[in-house]
């Protein structure tokens, strides 16, 4: 078993509907070790997207702690959200890959240029982007537009 890359405990998130607070996640605990993978399954509305948004810093938890790749995020520290948002942005740029349900590609750019842009935004060299597309079996699509 590898080192824990992700550890979550006491995670809670709810949304307001009018005057009613609707709980989505309550007291969630989760550990994912280096080298492990996990499938997240459930019915529509069960909280899968909410959990993923929390785990990549796109939403803030109401309570609980997320430790990811050596960074500690405490949902009870709402006063420190700006600093936490900067840390999450750095993690997403360098260590976390997010694939959204809807395509987030620039329609006026080729597939290769979209990948190059993402590499540059992450502060990475963009010279190997075509090789990555080829490894994924989509190198022939490099010059196509989304």
pLDDT value, residue 78: 65
| Residues 99, 103, 105: CA angle, nearest 5 degrees | 100
pLDDT digits (tens, 9 = 90+) for 98-138: 777 777 788 899 999 999 998 887 778 888 999 999 999 99
Q: For 60-113, give the DSSP string.
A: --SEEEEEETTEEEETT-GGGHHHHHHHHHHHHHHT-----SS----TTS-HHH
Range picked from 53-67, 88-102, 113-127 for highest mean pLDDT: 53-67
pLDDT value, residue 64: 94
pLDDT value, residue 137: 94
Specify the 3-state DSSP secondary structure of 129: helix
Q: Identify the CA nearest to 138 among candidates 115, 108, 105.
A: 115
pLDDT value, residue 113: 94
Task: Tell me, yes or no, if the pTM score tops 0.85.
Answer: no
Specify the 3-state DSSP secondary structure of 26: strand
Examine the pLDDT at 93 and tell me if it is beyond 90: no
More confident residue, 82 or 44: 44
The C-alpha torsion from 63 through 122 and 114 to 58, rounded to 10°, is: 10
pLDDT value, residue 8: 96
Examine the pLDDT at 48 and tell me if it is beyond 80: yes
Examine the pLDDT at 74 and tell me if it is beyond 90: no
Mean pLDDT of all residues in 91-103: 77
Mean pLDDT of all residues in 62-72: 90
pLDDT value, residue 121: 79
Residues of the chain with CATH 3.40.50.300: 4-94
How much of the chain is helix, strand and coil, in % rounded to 5? 30, 25, 40
pLDDT value, residue 1: 57
Q: Identify the CA nearest to 73 among candidates 92, 55, 90.
A: 55
pLDDT value, residue 24: 93
Classify domain 4-94 by CATH number: 3.40.50.300
| Joined tokens for residue 116 | 């190059």
């Amino acid at each position: 078993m590898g080192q824990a890359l992700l550890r979550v405990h006491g995670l809670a998130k709810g949304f307001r509907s009018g005057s009613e607070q609707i709980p989505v996640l309550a007291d969630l605990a989760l550990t994912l070790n280096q080298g492990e993978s996990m499938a997240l399954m459930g019915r529509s509305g069960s909280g899968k997207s909410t959990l993923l948004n929390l785990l990549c810093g796109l939403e803030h938890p109401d309570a609980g702690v997320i430790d990811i790749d050596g960074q500690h995020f405490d949902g009870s520290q709402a006063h420190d959200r700006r600093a936490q948002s900067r840390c999450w942005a750095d993690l997403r740029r360098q260590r976390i890959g997010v694939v959204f349900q809807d395509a987030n590609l620039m329609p006026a750019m080729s597939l290769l240029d979209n990948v190059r842009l993402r590499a540059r935004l992450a502060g990475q060299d963009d010279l190997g982007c075509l090789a990555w597309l080829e490894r994924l079996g989509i190198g022939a699509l490099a010059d196509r537009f989304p």
